[in-house]
Structures are given as structure tokens and as C-alpha cells.
């Protein structure tokens, strides 16, 4: 089994919990990228601890907390009681000016000792799904993982795996550190990267391109509130790695639309030239459910991280980070990152 703790019981957590139960009950691998990673199946992942700051989630069983406001992911499975009570995490910078209206914090309650709880539950990996703008809180959870002897996966844009000093501390302790900023299964950034890589491979010269996203849910509001420019920079840098020359490119979130709920509307546009200078224009609109888009990549990353632990690998594991994250310390075109990941999970001792 892979024993994980989750920081941030939001929409991504809800999709992950429901997805794990779905694959355990149904057994059909439809929707997974890899059915088995390093000998581990999704059914081998067990969530044994969870942390949040919203009073509507703290103290409740995880099976109930994932449907509490402000979460908007619909119920897709019938969950039993999981026996995991959501504990109160530290607030620190977890609230932005706009998200204060969505999240209800009980300020009189003391936060749990994260490291003590991780040790008590024999956690292998701490997964951070907290607010994208919470840099201090992200660092706090990473430090607590170190104290507890856990690997750490940072799905947020906070600079954790890209912090060389922090990566060195995890390497010294022999603990994997994976991040930053999760790359969704079929999110707009991943699709944009694949399209540009394909066009470049087919001899098309890219002149200009953009990718814009509009979504509902607390994470979209937090992006608009605090991390809009950071996300734009991270996404733009990730997408630009698909083409070996510079060109005008914009990639980022543009607005929050509350009634979209967990839906995300993405708009991709490309202008280029091919044989004898003939012009090409591509205009795509894509609608996705946001939170489940993280699921398949997360279950791959979790299992690969446990594989790294089994092999005694500490610090940033580039084949995992480059495969699953927009802000990996070392970036590759998406097809090359996929090959690196496949090689890592297929070759004992490979890194």
C-alpha cells in the first residue's frame, strides 16, 4: 500500500478520492494513463490523513468533507465512511482577498501538528493540493514532511521543488521532492504543448499563439486573485518548451465565472506557415471538468514517487517532475518527458 496524506480538501481532492474509489470498485482502467506503475495500481493508494482550514470540512470524515462548500465537484460514486477525519491545518497565507468570501475559518481552533500526525499515521507521501497562492503554507507543509520523513508532492505553483536549497535537504534525507504546478491530463496547457510540438515536427513555423482559460471553483478565483501573473509565466514557459525557437506566446488564466462550477472553458489559437509560406490558423475551444483533469496524472505521480522511495532516491526526481508538472526544475517537450517517465518506471534503479 501507498499511504498518503492530503493537504487541501478542495475540488482536486474530491475528484481524487472519488476516482480512487471508482477504480477500486470497478476495476476498469478507462481514463488512466498507466494501469500499473512500478507494480502499483490505483487501488494500492490509501489516503490516511487530510488537512484543511475551512470549518465546514475540519472534523468531518473525508468522505463527507469533499462535498462540503465551497467544493463544486459533483458526487459520482457512493462513498463509504473512510475513517479519516479532516484535521485543521495552518492558515498562514492560505486566504486571499477574494477567497476570504468563500472559505470559512474558525480562528479560535489550533492547527494540528502536521509532522506528528504524519508520523502517527505512518504516511509515505504528503500531497499538497492547497491554494495556489499560499507560498508560506506550501513551505510549511514541505518542512513538516521533512520532519516526518515523508516524500512531498507539490501540485501548486509555489516554488518548492524548484527551490535548490529545499531540494538539497530532501536529497540529504533520502526523500523524493516532486513538483511544481501539476500538468493536467488533458488540460489546455498539455493540449497546447502537444499541438505546437506536432506542428513543429511537421515543419510548420509558429508565428503566434495564445491559450486562455475561464473557470469556476475556488482555485480559479484564487488564480484571478493572487497567482494570475505567476500562472501566466509558468504556463507560457512550459508551452514555449515545445518549440525550439522564440515566438509571440501568451498562456494563462483570464477570469473567474462562478456559475461554471467545476467546468473550465479553454481557448487555443495558433497562427503559422507551412510549405511555400502557406498560412495556417487553428482556433479551438475546449470544455473540461477541471478537478478530474488532475486525477490520472496524480495517481501516476503518487505511484512513481513511491517507486522512487523504494529505490532509495531522494531529492527532485526529474523524470517524475518533468512528466507531471508545468514548473519542473528541468523542462522537456511533453513527448520527451513522457519517454523519460516511461523509462523511469520501467527500469529498476533508473533516474
In angstroms, the CA 28 to CA 5 distance is 25
Residues 35/154, Cβ–Cβ less than 8 Å: no
Rounded to the nearest angstrom, the gap between the alpha carbon of residue 65 and the centroid of all alpha carbons in its chain is 20
pLDDT value of residue 350: 46
What residue ranges do the domains of the chain occupy? 2-183+293-346, 188-290
**Position 280 confidence tier, pLDDT thresholds 50, 70, 90:** very high
Mean model confidence pLDDT for the chain:
92
Binned at pLDDT 50, 70 and 90, residue 199 comes out as: very high
The band of 225, judged by pLDDT with boundaries at 50, 70 and 90, is low
**CATH number at 2-183+293-346:** 3.40.50.720
* pTM of this prediction exceeds 0.85: yes
pLDDT confidence band for 347 (50 / 70 / 90): low
Q: What is the pLDDT of residue 67?
A: 98
Q: What angle do CA 222, 225, 227 make, to 5 degrees?
A: 75
User: Mind listing the pLDDT tens digit for each residue in 141-179?
Assistant: 999 999 999 999 999 999 999 999 999 999 999 999 999
The average pLDDT across 326-339 equals 94
pLDDT in tens, 257-275: 889 988 999 999 999 999 9
**Same fold: 2-183+293-346 with 188-290:** no
Distance CA 3, CA 305 (A): 12
Query: What is 188-290's CATH topology?
Result: Dihydrodipicolinate Reductase; domain 2 (3.30.360)
Rounded to an integer, the average pLDDT of 313-321 is 98
pLDDT of residue 117: 98
pLDDT tens, residue by residue, 95-117: 877 777 788 997 666 788 999 99
Buried b / exposed e over 82-101, threshold 16 CB at 10 Å, is bebebbbbbbbbbbbebbee
pLDDT at 217 over 70: yes
Host H or E run for residue 7: strand 2-7
For the cut 60, the answer to whether the pLDDT of residue 310 exceeds it is yes
Average pLDDT over residues 277-290: 96
Which among 3, 328, 296 has a CA at the least distance from the CA of 145?
3
pLDDT category at 255 given cuts 50, 70, 90 is confident
Amino acid at each position: 500500500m501507498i499511504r498518503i496524506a492530503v493537504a487541501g480538501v478542495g475540488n482536486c481532492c474530491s475528484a481524487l478520492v472519488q476516482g480512487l474509489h471508482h477504480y477500486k470498485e470497478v476495476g476498469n482502467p478507462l481514463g488512466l494513463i498507466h494501469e500499473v506503475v512500478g507494480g502499483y495500481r490505483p487501488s494500492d493508494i490509501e489516503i490516511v490523513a487530510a488537512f484543511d482550514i475551512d470549518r465546514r470540512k475540519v472534523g468531518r470524515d473525508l468522505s463527507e468533507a469533499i462535498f462540503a462548500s465551497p467544493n463544486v465537484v459533483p458526487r459520482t460514486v457512493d462513498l463509504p465512511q473512510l475513517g479519516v477525519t479532516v484535521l485543521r491545518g495552518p492558515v498562514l497565507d492560505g486566504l486571499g482577498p477574494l477567497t476570504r468570501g468563500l472559505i470559512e475559518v474558525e480562528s479560535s481552533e489550533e492547527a494540528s501538528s502536521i509532522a506528528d500526525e504524519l508520523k502517527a499515521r505512518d504516511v509515505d507521501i504528503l500531497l499538497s493540493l492547497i491554494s495556489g497562492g499560499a507560498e508560506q503554507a506550501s513551505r510549511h507543509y514541505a518542512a513538516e514532511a521533512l520532519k516526518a520523513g515523508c516524500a512531498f508532492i507539490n501540485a501548486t505553483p509555489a516554488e518548492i521543488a524548484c527551490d535548490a536549497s529545499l531540494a538539497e535537504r530532501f536529497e540529504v534525507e533520502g526523500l523524493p521532492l516532486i513538483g511544481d504546478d501539476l500538468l493536467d491530463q488533458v488540460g489546455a496547457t498539455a493540449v497546447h504543448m502537444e499541438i505546437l510540438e506536432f506542428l513543429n515536427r511537421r515543419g510548420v513555423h509558429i508565428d503566434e499563439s495564445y491559450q486562455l482559460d475561464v473557470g469556476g471553483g475556488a482555485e480559479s478565483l484564487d488564480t484571478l486573485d493572487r497567482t494570475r501573473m505567476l500562472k501566466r509565466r509558468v504556463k507560457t514557459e512550459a508551452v514555449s518548451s515545445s518549440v525550439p525557437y522564440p515566438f509571440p506566446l501568451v498562456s494563462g488564466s483570464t477570469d473567474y465565472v462562478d456559475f461554471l462550477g467545476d467546468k473550465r472553458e479553454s481557448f487555443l489559437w495558433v497562427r503559422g506557415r507551412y510549405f511555400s509560406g502557406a498560412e495556417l490558423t487553428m482556433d479551438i475551444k475546449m470544455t473540461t471538468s477541471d478537478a478530474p483533469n488532475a486525477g490520472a496524472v496524480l495517481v501516476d505521480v503518487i505511484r512513481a514517487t513511491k517507486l522512487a522511495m523504494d529505490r532509495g532516491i531522494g531529492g527532485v526526481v526529474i523524470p517524475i517532475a518533468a512528466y507531471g508538472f508545468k514548473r519542473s526544475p528541468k523542462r522537456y517537450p511533453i513527448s520527451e518527458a513522457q519517454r523519460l517517465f516511461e523509462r523511469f518506471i520501467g527500469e529498476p534503479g533508473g533516474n
